[in-house]
Amino acid sequence: MNCVLLSILLTLSIGTTEQEIDKIFVAIGGGDVASLSEYLHPRAEIHVMDKISVYNKQAGIKVLQKFYSEYAPVSYKRIHKGTSKAQDSLYSIGSLTTKDGNFRVYLYVKRMNDKVFIQELRFDRDA
């Protein structure tokens, strides 16, 4: 009985996480920094091409606003995704098409205290 209940709770948790991840994907593809900021960890690692740093939430928001003001998104396509063995973190690789070029997007999120946080978001220019 306890195993069944635990299995159901894990399934519901993973389903909720997937829904939140989908919202993050939509926000990345639409350049929606306000929605991304809801999931941004208080100390998130953000890579924009060659600029890499760990930012507090407010500074991270400014970095994302600057990126999207310079590279207006056209579309976003998820290429690959995976989950940690512990089921508490997910990663995704996608392709962001902008008006000024294409970017490979790497996303790493972690579930903590029933909330999903973006711990790493990376934008590398596609060759």
Residue 99, both tokens:
């008006």
**Neighbour-count burial for 53-67, b at 16+ CB within 10 Å, e otherwise:** eebeeeebbebbeeb
**Strands of 73-83's sheet in order across:** 51-56, 40-48, 115-125, 101-112, 89-98, 73-83
**6 against 115, higher pLDDT:** 115
Global pTM value:
0.83
Domain residue limits at 35: 2-125
Separation in Å, CA 2 to CA 6, 7, 15? 6, 9, 20
Q: What's the structural domain count of the chain?
A: 1
Question: Tell me: the pLDDT tens digits for 55-114?
Answer: 999 999 999 999 999 999 999 999 998 888 777 789 999 999 999 999 999 999 998 888
> Average pLDDT for residues 19-39, to the nearest whole number?
93
One-letter identity of residue 66: K
CATH (domain of 84): 3.10.450.50
**What is the spatial distance between Cα 33 and Cα 26, in angstroms, rounded to a whole number?**
11
The pLDDT mean for the chain works out to 87
**What is the spatial distance between Cα 25 and Cα 86, in angstroms, rounded to a whole number?**
22
